[in-house]
Structure 1
Amino acid sequence: MTEVTTVLDVTLHEYGPAVSVALGAAAGRALAVSGMLESVTPDPGREGHWLLRAGSRVGAVRTLGGAVVRIRPKTPVSRLFFLLGFTLDPSRAWRDSREGTVDTGSYEDIVPALAHAVERQIDTALRQGVIQGYRTVEESSLVVRGRLREADQIRRHFGRTPPVEIAYDAYTADTAENRILRAAVERLLRLPGVPGAVRRRLGHQRARLADALPLIRGQELPRWQPSRLNTRYQPALRLAEAVLRGASPEHRPAGAEPLAVDGFLLDMNKLFEDFVTVGLREALLGHGLTARLQDTHHLDTAGLVRMRPDLVVRTGDGRTPVAVVDAKYKVEKGGGHHNADLYQALAYATVLGLGESHLVYASGRQPQRSLEVRGTASGRDGRGMRLHQHSLDLSLTPDQLLLALREIAGRLAGTTTPPRS
Structure 2
Amino acid sequence: MTDIELVENVPLSLPLGDSAGRALAGSGVVEATPDLGSAGWWRVRAKNVVGVAAVRVAGGETITVRVSPKVPINRLMFLLGYSRSFNGWRDDQVQVDDEPDLLPVFARVFALHAEQALQQGLLKGYREVEETAQVMRGRIRFSEQVRRHHGLLVPLEITHDEYTTDVAENRLIRSACEVLLRLPDGIPGDVRTRLARLKLRLADVTPVPHGHPLPAWRPNRLNVRYHDALRVAELVLRGESVEHRPGEVTVHGFLFNLAKVFEDFITVALRDALGQSGGYSVLQASHHLDDRNAIRMVPDFVHYEADGTPLAVVDAKYKAQRPDGFPDADLYQMLAYCTALNLPEGHLVYAKGNAPHGAHRVRYAGTVLHQHAVDLDQPSAGVLADIRTVAQRLVSS
TM-score of the pair, normalised by structure 2: 0.88
Distance 1:333 1:10, change over 3 A: closer
Pairing partner for 2:64 from 68, 83, 88 = 68
Report what 2:12 is aligned to.
18
Whole-Å Cα distance in 1 between the matches of residues 360 and 145 of structure 2?
74
Q: Which has the larger radius of gyration?
A: 1
TM-score of the pair, normalised by structure 1: 0.83
1:277 CA drift (Å): 1.0
Report what 1:419 is aligned to.
none
Report what 1:351 is aligned to.
340
1:215 aligned to 2:208?
yes
Report what 1:187 is aligned to.
179
- Which consecutive residues of structure 2, in runs of 5 or more, have no partner in the other structure? none
Report what 1:308 is aligned to.
298
1:123 CA drift (Å): 0.6
Distance 1:334 1:35, change over 3 A: closer
Secondary structure of 2:126's match?
A: strand
Query: Contact 2:26 / 2:249 at 8 angstroms: preserved in 1?
Result: no
Pairing partner for 1:123 from 115, 119, 130 = 115
Whole-Å Cα distance in 1 between the matches of residues 5 and 372 of structure 2?
32
Q: Which amino acid aligns with 1:19?
A: S
1:324 CA drift (Å): 1.4
Q: How many residues align?
A: 389
Report what 1:31 is aligned to.
24
Query: Contact 2:181 / 2:195 at 8 angstroms: preserved in 1?
Result: yes
Distance 1:414 1:279, change over 3 A: same
Report what 1:4 is aligned to.
none
Whole-Å Cα distance in 1 between the matches of residues 109 and 214 of structure 2?
20
Query: Contact 1:185 / 1:205 at 8 angstroms: preserved in 2?
Result: yes
Secondary structure of 1:248's match?
A: helix
Q: State percent identity of aligned pairs.
A: 45
Report what 1:248 is aligned to.
242
Q: Which amino acid aligns with 1:393?
A: D
1:327 aligned to 2:309?
no
Secondary structure of 2:391's match?
A: helix
Report what 2:199 is aligned to.
206
Deviations 1:18-64 (A, max 9, x none): 23142451x43343233322x21134455554321121111111111
Distance 1:393 1:334, change over 3 A: farther
Q: Which amino acid aligns with 2:76?
A: L
Q: Which amino acid aligns with 1:146?
A: R
Whole-Å Cα distance in 2 between the matches of residues 300 and 164 of structure 1?
54
After TM superposition, the structure 1 = structure 2 runs for residues 16-415 of structure 1, keeping only pairs within 5 Å, are: 16-23=10-17, 25=19, 27-37=20-30, 39-44=31-36, 49-64=41-56, 65-89=61-85, 91-92=87-88, 94-97=90-93, 103-104=95-96, 106-141=98-133, 144=135, 146-147=137-138, 149=140, 151=142, 155-156=148-149, 159=152, 167-192=159-184, 193-246=186-239, 247-250=241-244, 258-317=248-307, 319-330=308-319, 336-364=325-353, 368-376=357-365, 384-415=366-397
Deviations 1:53-103 (A, max 9, x none): 121111111111211011111011111011111234462262442xxxx55
Distance 1:221 1:392, change over 3 A: same
Whole-Å Cα distance in 1 between the matches of residues 187 and 157 of structure 2?
46
Q: Which amino acid aligns with 1:306?
A: R
1:116 CA drift (Å): 1.4
Whole-Å Cα distance in 1 between the matches of residues 105 and 296 of structure 2?
39
Whole-Å Cα distance in 1 between the matches of residues 347 and 356 of structure 2?
13
Distance 1:50 1:168, change over 3 A: same
Instruction: Please tell me the root mean square deviation across aligned C-alpha atoms, in Å.
Output: 2.7
